[in-house]
Amino acid sequence: MAEDFREDIARIEARIEELAEAIERCRKLSLAARIAIGAGAGGLALMVVGIVSLEPLTLVAAMAAVIGGVVLLGSNSTTWTQTESALKASEALRLQMIERTDPRVVGESRTRH
């Protein structure tokens, strides 16, 4: 019976690792989206001020960067939130399963009732 718990706990820990890696990817995508938004907005501002020439290609590229960044940030935010919820649920399940195994602290004597 304890062996079953160990296998289940190991599977849950593998899932926790996968979810943590997914959250790290979400963090990186969020950073990339913010950079795209900033670059696009900066490009638009430079065009408005006149530092960069207002050409159709640069205007479309700047607008695409802003719009694409906003879409990516919104989509990624939802995924990040769902992944964090799944991670918390998996961690709670792991803790619950560990508690079922009746672990004891090393050096602590066990009293029988």
Q: What is the mean pLDDT of the chain?
A: 89
User: At 111, which amino acid appears?
Assistant: T
Give the pLDDT of residue 97: 86
Give the pLDDT of residue 113: 52
Residue 108 covered by a domain:
no
Residue 90 covered by a domain:
yes
Which residues form the domain of 73? 2-100
| pTM, to two decimals | 0.73
Residue scoring higher pLDDT (2 or 73): 73
Report the alpha-carbon distance of residue 86 to residue 9 in Å, rounded. 16
| Unique residue bearing structure tokens 């399940």 | 93
Tally of structural domains, the chain: 1
Residue 111 covered by a domain:
no
Residue 10 covered by a domain:
yes
Report the alpha-carbon distance of residue 89 to residue 15 in Å, rounded. 11
Residue 107 covered by a domain:
no
CA distances for 89 relative to 7, 10, 93, angstroms? 18, 15, 6
For the cut 70, the answer to whether the pLDDT of residue 32 exceeds it is yes
Each residue's pLDDT tens digit, 46-63: 999 999 888 999 999 999
Report the alpha-carbon distance of residue 63 to residue 41 in Å, rounded. 8
> What sign for the dihedral angle of Cα 101, 104, 106, 112?
negative
Each residue's pLDDT tens digit, 67-96: 999 999 999 999 999 999 999 999 999 988
Confidence band (pLDDT; 50, 70, 90) for 26?
A: very high
Give the pLDDT of residue 33: 96
For the cut 90, the answer to whether the pLDDT of residue 13 exceeds it is yes
